[in-house]
Amino acid sequence: MWMKYNEDAINRLYSENLTEARQRLSSLVVAEGRKPNVGGLNGWVYEQTICHCLSEELEKLGKHPTISEQVPLYGRAKVDLLIGNVAIEVKVAGFFGNEAEKYSSFRIKAGDRQWTYYYLTGMETHKSYRLAAISAFGKEHAFFLDTKGDWQRFVKAVANNYLLDA
């Protein structure tokens, strides 16, 4: 399967757009030239990067899904992206602490709604957290873009599992 993007291209696109976002925000009159120091900005730009790249990859495959963002799962919990029946948790840099139990419960809630739940992260440098993510989401549902080939594996999984009318 030929892909428009790969792990390196996604990282480059993310970095370039994060730099541009910071520059543009610092140009707001109220910012007075100060660069934003907002933790959520990294995550938002990364989610937008994944959304953009995934949308283009699916278009190349002749699929034209709508991608929704920050969709309620239950209570205050949300999934980052929802494409038909495919829910995706997106992280720039993997787990922070012991989040496996939380995401295991999210996976159950997603299953209750007949959603397939995937996890995609730009990197996971701690082996124990990588294993925790795999445990929480399942080996076929956890994707790490610091592993060559995982972007292609991710796009294939989404393309093969989403239902437009979910």
- Is residue 84 one of the residues assigned to a domain? yes
Which pair of tokens denotes residue 7? 């792990």
Q: Is 91 left (phi over 0), alpha (psi -120 to 50) or beta?
A: beta
- Please check whether residue 112 lies inside any domain of the structure: yes
Both tokens assigned to 149:
């080939």
- Give percent of the chain with pLDDT exceeding 90: 73
What CA–CA distance (Å, rounded) separates 7 from 19? 18
Q: Supply the pLDDT for residue 166.
A: 45
Written as six digits, the tokens of 45 are: 């730009």
Q: What is the CATH number of the domain that holds 112?
A: 3.40.1350
Where do the H-state alpha helices sit in 27-87?
Answer: 39-60
49-75 residue pLDDT tens: 999 999 999 999 888 889 999 999 999
Distance CA 19, CA 139 (A): 33
Does residue 1 lie within any of the structural domains? no
Answer whether 115's CB lies under 8 Å from 166's CB: yes
Residue scoring higher pLDDT (166 or 27)? 27
**Structural domain that includes position 78:** 7-161
pTM: 0.91
Q: 156, 154, 101, 147: which is closest to 122 by C-alpha?
A: 147
Output the pLDDT for position 109. Answer: 95
pLDDT value for 164: 59
If one counts the domains in the chain, the total is: 1
DSSP string across 73-84:
EETTEEEEEEET
Mean pLDDT across the chain: 91
Residue at 2 is within a domain: no
Does some domain include residue 133?
A: yes
How does pLDDT run across 109-163, given as a tens digit for each residue? 999 999 999 999 999 988 988 999 999 999 999 999 999 999 999 999 999 988 7
Q: Is residue 46 part of a domain?
A: yes
Residue 166 located in a structural domain: no
